Amino acid sequence: MQAELDKVYQKARSEIEQAKNIPELLNLKSKYIGKKSLLNKLMKQISSLPKEERPEFGKKLNIAKNKIQELITIRENQIQEIQYKNELKSEAIDVTMPGRKRKIGNLHPITLVMQEIEDIFISMGFDVVEGPDIEDEFHNFDALNTPPDHPARNLSDTFYLDNDILLRTQTSTVQIRTMEKYQPPIKIISPGSCYRNENDATHSPMFHQVEALVVDEGINFVDLRDILNDFVKKMFGDRIQTRFRPHFFPFTEPSAEMDISCVKCFGKGCNLCKGTGWLEMGGAGMVDPNVFEMLKIDPEKYTGYAFGLGIDRIAMVKYNIPDMRMLFENDIRFLKQF
Ligand code: DAH
C-alpha cells in the first residue's frame, strides 16, 4: 500500500504541475483528494493493514493529502499569474504604432474663395453684411431702379416663388437693405447665393456674388477703380491689370463691366481667356441718384459706388476649373482636391 501511495502521489504531482487552467486543476483536486478520490480509497483500505501499521500509514496519507493540496495551490497561483500576464500582453498599447488617420472634410472651393475675398475687403475697412436669399420684387428690382417691363424680371430668368416673392437674382438686393437701415458713411460687402434660370458650362441656376457698396461725401469713379485694382492684385497677384468697359445697369450711372488681364497668359491670349487676354469679373458703377432718392439718402450730398463680382468665376479662374457645374455636383474626388 505504501508503494501504491507513492505512485498516486507522483502521478498527482506530475499532473498538477502540467495543469493548464483552473477547471483542469479542480478536476485533479477531486480526482486525488476529493470524496471519491484515490487517496480516500486508500484511506478506506487502512483496515486491511496490520493494526500497528495503521496509525503510521494514516499519518502518511494525511501528509500526502496536504502536500497535494499545497501543490494545487502553488499551481493555481502560477496559472493565475500566467493568465494575468497574457491579459496584460493582449491589452498592451504600442506607443510606437502610427495613429489612425481621422477622416475630416475640407472646405468647398467657393467657401475658400469667399473667405479670401472677405479677408481682403475687411483689411480695406469694409464690413461684411448678409441679406436673405428669398426676396421681394421691391428689393430685387424696384428699389434698384429696374422698371416693371425690364426683361430681367421675366419668368424665364427669375425664379418666382409667389406673385411678388422670388429667389434673388443678384446680391445687389443687400445694397437696398443696407441703405434702408443706415445713413452714410456706408462701406460694406455682401457675399451670398443668387439664382437664375440658366444652366451651362459657365452658368449655374445657383451661383454666388459678392456685392460692394460705398457711400459717402465725395466718392467718385477713381475710388471705385482704385479699390478694384487693389482687390485684384491682392487676389490674383501684382501683375494683374483691370479694365473697365462701358455698360448699362439700371441702378448705376455711369456703369461699367470690369475685366482683369488673364491670370494664365497675362494678356497674350490663351484658351482660358479665349484668345482675348481678358477675363470678365463683374459689373460696377456709381450709384444712380434715383436709388438714393428712393431710400431717402440725399443725392446732392452723397455719392457712392457699387460693384458685384462673380465668386464662382473667381474660383474657376483661381483653381483652373473648366466647368462651373463641377462646383455643384458634389463629386468627392473633385472636392477633395482643395
Ligand atoms: N448685380 C449685377 C449683376 O448681377 C452686378 C452689378 C453690377 C452689381 C453693377 C453692382 C453694380 O453693384 O454696381 O449682373
Give the pLDDT mean for 168-191.
98
Spatial separation of the C-alpha atoms in residues 239 and 262, rounded to whole Å: 10
Q: Compute the average pLDDT of residues 103-121.
A: 95
Query: For cell 450711372, what's the residue?
Result: 253
Atom of ligand 1 nearest to the CA of 175: 12
| Structure confidence at residue 3 (pLDDT) | 85
CA of 158 to the centre of ligand 1 (A): 16
Q: What is the pLDDT of residue 303?
A: 98
Q: Are 188 and 213 in contact (CB under 8 A)?
A: yes
Q: What is the pLDDT of residues 45-75, one digit of tens each?
A: 888 888 888 888 889 889 999 999 999 999 9
- The residue contributing the CA closest to ligand 1 atom 8 is 308
Q: How remote is the CA of residue 300 from the centroid of ligand 1, in Å?
A: 23
State the virtual CA torsion across 228, 111, 199, 307 in degrees, nearest 10: -20
For cell 502518511, the residue is 60
pLDDT digits (tens, 9 = 90+) for 241-253: 999 999 999 999 9
What is the mean predicted confidence (pLDDT) over 25-41?
88
Other Cβ atoms less than 10 A from the Cβ of 49: the count is: 15
**Does residue 288 have its Cβ closer than 6 Å to ligand 1?**
no
- Rounded mean pLDDT of 282-290? 97
Side chain identity at residue 191, one-letter code? P
What are the domain boundaries of the chain? 2-90, 109-335
The answer, yes or no, to whether any atom of ligand 1 lies below 6 A from the CB of 284, is: yes
Residue of 141, 251, 281 to test ligand 1 pocket, by largest number of atoms within 8 Å of CB: 251
Ligand 1 centre from 283 Cα, in Å?
Answer: 5
Say which CATH architecture domain 109-335 belongs to. 2-Layer Sandwich (3.30)
Q: Does the CB atom of residue 283 touch ligand 1 within 6 A?
A: yes
Place of cell 430668368: 157
What pLDDT does 42 receive? 82
Q: Mean pLDDT across the chain, nearest whole number?
A: 93
SS3 of 28, please?
A: helix
Distance CA 63, CA 77 (A): 21
Give the tens place of pLDDT for each residue, 125-159: 999 999 999 999 999 999 999 998 888 888 778 99
Is residue 83 predicted with pLDDT exceeding 80? Answer: yes
